[in-house]
Amino acid sequence: MRVVRADIKGGEGFIGKDTVAGGYGSRLRPFSRVTHVISFLKRWFHDVPSVHLAYLAALAAEAGHEVRYTQGELVEGDVALVLSSIVDYRREGRFADAMRARGVRVGFIGLAAAKMPELFQNHADFIFQGEPEAGFIRMLAGEVPSGIVSSPQIDDLDSLPFPRWDLVSEPRRRLTVPYSGRPAGGGFPLLASRGCPEFCTYCPHRILAGYRSRSVDRILDEIEALAGHYPRPYVIFRDPLFSQDRDRCLALADGLERRGLEIGFECETRLDRLDPALLSRLREVGLRAISFGVESMSPATLKKVGRRPTPPEHQRLIIDACRELGIVTAGFYVLGFLEDNWDSIVATIDYAVDLGSTVAQFKILTPYPGTPLWKKMAPLVVEQDWERFDGFTPTFTHPSLTRDELQFLLGGAYARFYMRPSYLANYLRIGGERTRTLVNRLDRQVRPRHTREEFDLSKAAAC
């Protein structure tokens, strides 16, 4: 059987799929000078291949089937599996229609198709409901899937073969960029666990399947196999909470050292699951960057959406430790919680600047179908185009802020964070006292411009 795996590349803006927003995906349509630059950089650093399609490639090859890959070109095959997203589902549907017209059976995989099958059913012969591996294994054994196909989670993740990157995309040249952490050209996603053990009501990472983790030895075996094909690979751990188990992280570090595996890697986690000693040990074996959610500076707001706040003093401790160790930090923030108002969002933006992570990403609260937050916010949703549920577009009626105000504050967050002298000092890891005094003085000269713009919009909104 000829099995085609399709990861359709989008057009407008920068699109991230696969594990982004739990699988719903995101799309940044540039709306300011700063976001144009960020979109450009994302194409260089964040365009990584699909780990889920790499798993399916491994399963198909292991079963003796011919494996093909496409990013949108029509290719010959017997069955095609299309990676779904909410942010580009129309393009994915058009590709599926064209393949079916050539006599190819088409199925969709991923969170978007599983939770919103109505967007894909008219373009598909089947849709896998859940993580795709179980249903795909049955298909490879001879089952002919049709309609909505149950695909329950595989509890023993160690039983799966390693992802086959050679069957997913052409090898990309990776260039080391000073102070960037991740190389230009991206890296190899790795799932040390699946699902998420936390209970944030707005997060789609926990709605497709339960939380499970792989054994340390199996993770090390995968990294060793990867390093055997690609010298000094850069590994992107895509677990939402990589350092959930401190002892497990230390065991992984010991295993990397014991096996002599030279890699660079990054992870996403919570700051309260890190400490300076753990960071130092992980840095010794290749840790180059961490990303983490701050979301809001208001503990009351976070508790309303089921997120456990991390004390500000611990956040600063970890950021400072990362700066001393040369680890890139990326803070995530969400603007537009129902409890937010103009002042609280400005306070969160100011906190992001003051916290001083290497980079920051700001998004607008998005109520994703299937999350607990969706049940609460569905009556407020006014956006009818699902592709606008991209993380950067207001989709609901906010009790305190207009759509234009939310969009303005989002743009102001990026301008306020990146358009200041101290950002460059942070990025270049310049920490001398005299230099910091100088850039802080320059920051104070830049700040009135941002304040003036915020005040002008407040006046316009009040009128």
Each domain of the chain, given as residue ranges in start order, spans 2-150, 171-378
Determine the Cα–Cα distance for residues 376 and 395; give it in Å rounded to an integer: 14
Whether pTM exceeds 0.75: yes
Does the pLDDT of residue 397 top 70, yes or no? yes
Q: Which residues pair with 147 in a beta bridge?
A: 126
Q: Say which amino acid occupies 8.
A: I
Mean pLDDT, the chain, whole residue set: 93
Work out the pLDDT band at 449, boundaries 50, 70, 90: low
Does the pLDDT of residue 455 top 50, yes or no? no
Domain over 2-150 is classified CATH 3.30.70 = no
Residue 399: burial class (beta carbons within 10 Å; 0-12, 13-18, 19+): exposed
Classify each residue of 157-191 as buried b or exposed e, where b means 16 or more C-beta atoms within 10 Å of its C-beta: beebebbbbebbbeeeebeeeeebbbbebbbbbbb
Q: What is residue 148's predicted lDDT score, i.e. its pLDDT?
A: 98
Mean pLDDT computed over 421-442: 78
Residue partners of 191: CB distance under 8 A and separation at least 6 = 19, 51, 157, 214, 237, 238, 239
Fold agreement (2-150, 171-378): no
CATH class of 171-378: alpha beta
Residue partners of 434: CB distance under 8 A and separation at least 6 = none
With beta carbons less than 8 A apart as the criterion, state whether 213 and 195 touch: no
Determine the Cα–Cα distance for residues 276 and 316; give it in Å rounded to an integer: 11
Which phi and psi (to 5°) does residue 331 adopt? -95, 140
Alpha-carbon distances of 210 from 19, 196, 357, rounded to whole Å: 15, 7, 31
The percent of residues above 90 in pLDDT, for the chain, comes to 86
Q: pLDDT tens across 333-353, in order?
A: 999 999 999 999 999 999 999
Q: Say which amino acid occupies 117.
A: P
Does the pLDDT of residue 459 top 70, yes or no? no
Determine the Cα–Cα distance for residues 164 and 54; give it in Å rounded to an integer: 5
Q: Are strands 264-269 and 287-295 parallel, antiparallel or unpaired?
A: parallel
Q: What is residue 450's predicted lDDT score, i.e. its pLDDT?
A: 59
Mean pLDDT computed over 32-60: 95
Work out the pLDDT band at 87, boundaries 50, 70, 90: very high
Determine the Cα–Cα distance for residues 256 and 263; give it in Å rounded to an integer: 9
Q: What is residue 171's predicted lDDT score, i.e. its pLDDT?
A: 66
Does the pLDDT of residue 377 top 90, yes or no? yes
Q: pLDDT tens across 159-194, in order?
A: 999 999 999 876 667 888 888 889 998 999 999 999
Mean pLDDT computed over 385-402: 97
Q: Which residues pair with 16 in a beta bridge?
A: 26
Mean pLDDT computed over 202-226: 97
Work out the pLDDT band at 463, boundaries 50, 70, 90: very low
Classify each residue of 42-60 as buried b or exposed e, where b means 16 or more C-beta atoms within 10 Å of its C-beta: beebbebbbbbbbbbbbbb
Q: What is residue 452's predicted lDDT score, i.e. its pLDDT?
A: 53
